[in-house]
Each structure stands twice: as structure tokens, then as C-alpha cells.
Amino acid sequence: MHNPWVLDNVHLVVRLLLSVILGGLVGFERERTNHAAGLRTHALVSLGSCLLMILSMYGFADFVGEPNVSLDPARLAAQVITGVGFLGAGTILFTGKSITGLTTAASIWVVMAVGLTVGAGFYLPAILSAIMILLILWGLSIVEKRYVNHRRQCTFVVTADAQTQRVEGFQSLLDQHGAKLVKVRFIDAVDDAPNAGIKQQQILITVILPHREQLIAIADEFNRMDGVRSVAAE
């Protein structure tokens, strides 16, 4: 009869290698898209989770049956879930305008779950989960870019001569590109030191672009307009 507290060396090696392969596949997808946590990070998280699951389930087999000893195979696994949460939090960045790294943090967390699943010996769920993770990260990314995140709000900071009225020209240019004007804000005119006697003002134009690729094209056309000194996009 199979002893549930004993793991032979063959299965031990298979579980460790499989955890590295599955975690590495997810990490490769993150590495390919230049994210902070990539191939090595995901492979290590998966391997470490698998190893701790094995230790939790089989590392204390010698104490089974001893008086006053109660074993809980899930105890170390629960601590792994908490610990990996801190690692995932380290990949989340707040840039002042947006939050990045949430998907990478989620991928680290779910890779940890894959590692624990492999360590517990549930190979099929672990493999299927890894495949679904890759489909989510790769396949849904294409869907998001095409149907969800193709629209982008940005702000153009235009520095122009104060006496030059360019608002109607800006609106016409945006209409040509199918961009939606959200708001316009004028900042008080200031003296331009290199050109004494000429006052300049900043115009903050917030728009929604149909496609992200139009950002550079619109900024370039703004910059070529009469009276415009500089253009910046945020």
C-alpha cells in the first residue's frame, strides 16, 4: 500500500523540474514584453513554492505517529502565499499618473499557486493552469490592444506666442485625426528672455486619441504651426 507520507526520488525530481518549466514559460512571456519580473523570477518563485510544498507534505514524515505530534501539510503553503504577496507588491509602481506592474504581480502570485500544485502532485491542474495563464497573458493582451486599450487620453503642453490665437487650428487638426478634445487650459503669459518683448503662454490640451500611434504625429503637426515654440505630450 502506498504511504502518503513518502515521496520517491523520481517523483521528487519530476515535480521540481516541472515547476521550473511551467514557471519559466510564464516568465518567458513577461521577459519577452520587457517586464521587471521575467524568466528567472517566475521560475524561482515556482520552484521555491514547489519545494516548500514538498517539504510541508513529506519533510516531517519521521514524526508521523509520534505522541503529541500533529502534522498539517498546508501550513507552510499558507505562509508561501503570504510571502509571495510581498514579492508581487515590489513589481507594482505608481508613476503619479498610472499604476503599472499589476499584471506581473498577478502572474507571480499565480505561478506560486502552480508551484504549490505541482509540489502537491496535481500535475494535470498545474499544466492546464500554466497553459491558461499563457493564454491570458498573451491572447488577452492582443484583445486588449485591439478592442480595449486602443483609445488613450493624453495632454499636449503647447508653448506659443501669446498674441497668436491657435485654438481653432488645434481643434481642426484634432478633428482631422479623429481625436476628441476633452479640455483646454491656458496658463498666464510669461516673458521669453531670449526674445525680449515677446510674451509666451502655455496651452494644455487634453484629448482622447483613437490610436496610441497618433500621439507623435499630432505633436509634430502642433509643433509646425505658426507661433508655436515647443510641444510636449504627457
Q: CATH number for the domain including 161? A: 3.30.70.60
What does the pLDDT look like over 199-224, one tens digit per residue?
Answer: 778 888 888 877 767 778 888 888 88
The answer to whether residues 119 and 136 belong to one domain is yes
Q: 203 by DSSP, 3-state: which?
A: strand
From 90, 138, 131, select the one nearest 110 (Cα to Cα): 131
The answer to whether residues 25 and 132 belong to one domain is yes
pLDDT score of 1 more than 50: no
* 176 against 211, higher pLDDT: 176
Backbone φ and ψ for 51, nearest 5 degrees, come out as -65, -45
- How many residues are there in the chain? 234
Which cell numbers in the block locate residue 224?
509646425
Percent of the chain whose pLDDT exceeds 90: 14
Q: Cβ contacts of residue 56 below 8 Å, gap of 6+?
A: 73, 74, 75, 76, 77, 119
**Side chain identity at residue 184, one-letter code:** V
From residue 206, give the alpha-carbon distance in Å to each of 3, 39, 136, 158, 178: 67, 38, 32, 11, 14
The answer to whether residues 139 and 220 belong to one domain is no
pLDDT score of 97 more than 60: no
The answer to whether residues 72 and 85 belong to one domain is yes
Residue 180 covered by a domain: yes
d(CA 163, CA 4): 84
Q: 151 by DSSP, 3-state: which?
A: coil
Residue 201 covered by a domain: yes
* 18 against 80, higher pLDDT: 18
pLDDT score of 101 more than 50: yes
The answer to whether residues 72 and 59 belong to one domain is yes
pLDDT score of 73 more than 60: yes
Segment 160-187 shows an average pLDDT of 76
Percent of the chain whose pLDDT exceeds 70: 78
Residue 3 covered by a domain: no
DSSP string computed for 161-191: ETT---HHHHHHHHHHTTPEEEEEEEEEEEE
Residue 130 covered by a domain: yes
Q: For residue 128, what pLDDT is reported?
A: 94
Q: Which domain holds residue 160?
A: 152-233
The answer to whether residues 125 and 157 belong to one domain is no
**Side chain identity at residue 219, one-letter code:** A
Residue 1 covered by a domain: no
d(CA 124, CA 127): 5
The answer to whether residues 167 and 58 belong to one domain is no
Helices (H), the chain: 9-32, 39-58, 75-89, 102-119, 123-134, 140-143, 167-176, 214-223
The number of folded domains in the chain is: 2
Segment 122-144 shows an average pLDDT of 86
The answer to whether residues 77 and 161 belong to one domain is no
Residue 2 covered by a domain: no
Name the pLDDT band for 98 (thresholds 50, 70, 90): low
pLDDT score of 5 more than 70: no
Residue 4 covered by a domain: no
What does the pLDDT look like over 139-165, one tens digit per residue?
Answer: 777 776 666 555 577 888 888 876 655
Q: Which of 124, 148, 172 is the last residue of a domain?
A: 148
Name the pLDDT band for 115 (thresholds 50, 70, 90): very high
Q: 128 by DSSP, 3-state: which?
A: helix
